[in-house]
Amino acid sequence: MPLKPDIEHPESGRRRAGYAIVGIGELSADELIPAARTSEHAYVAALVTSERDKGVAFARAYDLTEEDVYSYEDFERLSEREDVEAVYIVLPNALHREYVERAARMGKHVLCEKPLGVNAGDAQAMVDACRDAGVLLMTAYRCQYTPQHWAARDAVQGGKLGPVKLVDSIHGQVQDDPEAWRMKRDLAGGGPLVDVGIYCLNTIRFVLGQEPEWVFAAQHQPQDDERFREVEESVSFMLGFPGGVIANGLTSYGTQKTATLRVLGEKGTVLMDPAYTYQGLELTISDGEGDFQPKLPDEDQFGLEMDHFAQRVRDGKKPWTPGEEGVQDHRIMDAIYESARTRQVVRLERVEGRDAFRGTPPQVPGRE
């Protein structure tokens, strides 16, 4: 099926929301643009890139035209495109704020890759800009839209494990290229914590539905490795939640690929391994009577999040992972870095209620 045969989905007949993809790196090329091909609620209407030839090649391959390819300099020309209702920002972290604010001034809704910015103040400014412009802002936390993560959440919050006591999560990988933008503090805002460790942090908060009250952390930045001239190699953090739940997170740019989540309750456990890969998520629930692996569809995570935001563009409701959700992770990550620097526990502002920073729940395939 071509990417843009028309604005309507060929099966449902529903008018889909048009996205402009801003940045055609590996994630856009391998995941986002292909995901839109089968989306029921969204399609790609335009591409924004510094590499004109690459953009035109993608346009031709996916049934767009050369006129659908824009440069960063003429980004504001998207204001002339009524079919472009939202932009998906897929740029280095330090550029998120600029392009979110530029999109908001054009009246375009914004889906922005995680982390939302480079720190809490940066992220809050993006939320404020979109609110003032009357447009929606969603943080692209794909793991909050999968059937597997929702099944884990439902098991935890539905009491299948009994009272939860401990949570741990690990996300690490080897980063080989010292010149990659993720290794530059000015562009990334940090090292593995803001890149892959944020999955641990965000998913722990999502599964529990609670916000931590304190953090304690440590980090390691080797002095003899040119890869880590500017950012840390590894971070370990502990989170304390209301009711006594303690969660541990480990993240690194120096370990073999690992992505796990484990929740330990009085009567059972949840294990996701792998927990953060694009495909092949594995969930095992133990309720004291044996292990159970629920049969769940292995959906396209990027398609699910793009569909959810397109639906919110249509109905105007707050998305499940709005900008405020991204700001909260930045507040906690800022505290993690402060704790690692001072070697002290850092207290966080107490947040009352469940899912305090989230909006309209998504439609999750396979969920009752």
Q: Where are the beta strands (DSSP E) in the chain?
A: 17-22, 42-48, 69-70, 84-89, 109-113, 137-140, 164-174, 214-220, 234-240, 246-252, 254-265, 269-272, 283-286, 291-292, 346-347
Query: What single letter denotes the amino acid at residue 345?
Result: V
Which of 19, 114, 160, 253 does the annotation list as catalytic? 114
- Six-digit token string for 45: 């209407």
10 Å CB burial of residue 290 (0-12, 13-18, 19+) is exposed
Pairing of strands 137-140, 234-240: unpaired
H helices present in 20-66, as ranges: 26-27, 33-36, 52-61
Is 199 a known active-site residue?
yes
**Among 115, 98, 128, 87, CA closest to 191:** 115
Q: How far apart are CA 88 and CA 109, in angstroms?
A: 9
What count of other Cβ atoms lies within 10 Å of the Cβ of residue 74?
9
Cα-Cα-Cα-Cα torsion 326, 162, 271, 28, nearest 10 degrees, comes to -20
Neighbours of 26 (CB within 10 A): 8
Q: Determine the longest span between alpha carbons in the chain, in angstroms.
A: 61
Q: How far apart are CA 108 and CA 130, in angstroms?
A: 9
From the candidates 199, 253, 276, 337, give the one annotated as an active-site residue.
Answer: 199
How many angstroms separate the CA atoms of 346 and 20, rounded?
Answer: 40
Neighbouring residues of 304: CB distance < 8 A, sequence distance ≥ 6: 142, 145, 146, 362, 364, 365
**340 Cβ contact list (under 8 Å, min separation 6):** 217, 218, 219, 232, 235, 237
Q: Which residues are catalytic?
A: 114, 199
